[in-house]
Each structure stands twice: as C-alpha cells, then as structure tokens.
Amino acid sequence: MDYYVSRDRNKLDVERIHKEITATYWAAGRSMEETLRTMENCICFGLYDKRDQQLGYARVLTDQVTFAYLMDVIIFPPHRGKGLGKFLMGQILEQPELQKPTTLALKTKDAHGLYERFGFKRVGDSHLWMSIDKIKFKDL
C-alpha cells in the first residue's frame, strides 16, 4: 500500500497542519494555540505516504455513543485530486469509535460529492450541514 492513516499524534506535522488549515475558508484566522486545542480534544488522523510524509489530516469529536462530528478534513497540496480524500474518509469511518454513534455530522461548502459517497446526506435545506443518521424514528 502506498498510503496509510495513523492516529499517532507524535507523527502529526502540526506546523504544516496549521498552515494548510488556516488557508481554508473554514479556519482562516485560527491561531496556532486554537489549532493545538482542537487537536487535544479530538481523535486526529494523519494521512501519510510510504516515506512517512504527511499528505493530509482530519479530526473527529465524538462521545462514542450518540454523536460524532467530522472536521478539518484536508489533503495538502499538491496531493489533491488523487483519491486521497476518499481513502482518508474510508479509513476514518472504519474506526471502532465511529461504529456506535447514531449520528455522524459535518459541515462543508464545496465537498458534498465526496461525503455523499460515504452515505452523508444534506440536513434539511442547509447548504453546509450533512449527516449520516443511523436511527429512524417512527411517527415524527
């Protein structure tokens, strides 16, 4: 395999993550302290090549029972457009902590197609919110 995903925080290139995340529409203006704080409170995923170079990052906040919130999914340039986002998402969704929660949520302005491949659907008339809801309630 040419790529792998690790949850080892010691492998994360925090400087690069901060640089790439703060260049996005959703995290512009985030300080390094805030980036570090987000990482401390989430399950973090680094995407690496066989030479251990970090190519991407994502994080999930979850109670491991009812809710999980996927955030900061990013593939670093120039590695975009190679299917690595799909690979990263597939690996994240296979994690044991994400099998139990009945709702998985995320917000995106421009990557709906990626997340729809994994079963996420738009929430109501929101242009940003998407979720996977595993519970279907009768007589709402």
pTM, two decimal places = 0.92
For residue 2, name the pLDDT band (cuts at 50, 70, 90): very high
**Tens-place pLDDT, residues 6-34:** 999 999 999 999 999 999 999 999 999 99
Domain 3-133: CATH architecture, name and number where available: 3-Layer(aba) Sandwich (3.40)
With CA atoms as reference, report the closest residue to 75 among 24, 25, 116, 137.
24
What's the chain's length in residues?
Answer: 140
**Tens-place pLDDT, residues 24-73:** 999 999 999 999 999 999 999 999 999 999 999 999 999 999 999 999 99
Domain boundaries, the chain: 3-133
For residue 82, name the pLDDT band (cuts at 50, 70, 90): very high
User: Looking up tokens 């995320």, which residue turns up?
Assistant: 106
User: Looking up tokens 């729809």, which residue turns up?
Assistant: 116
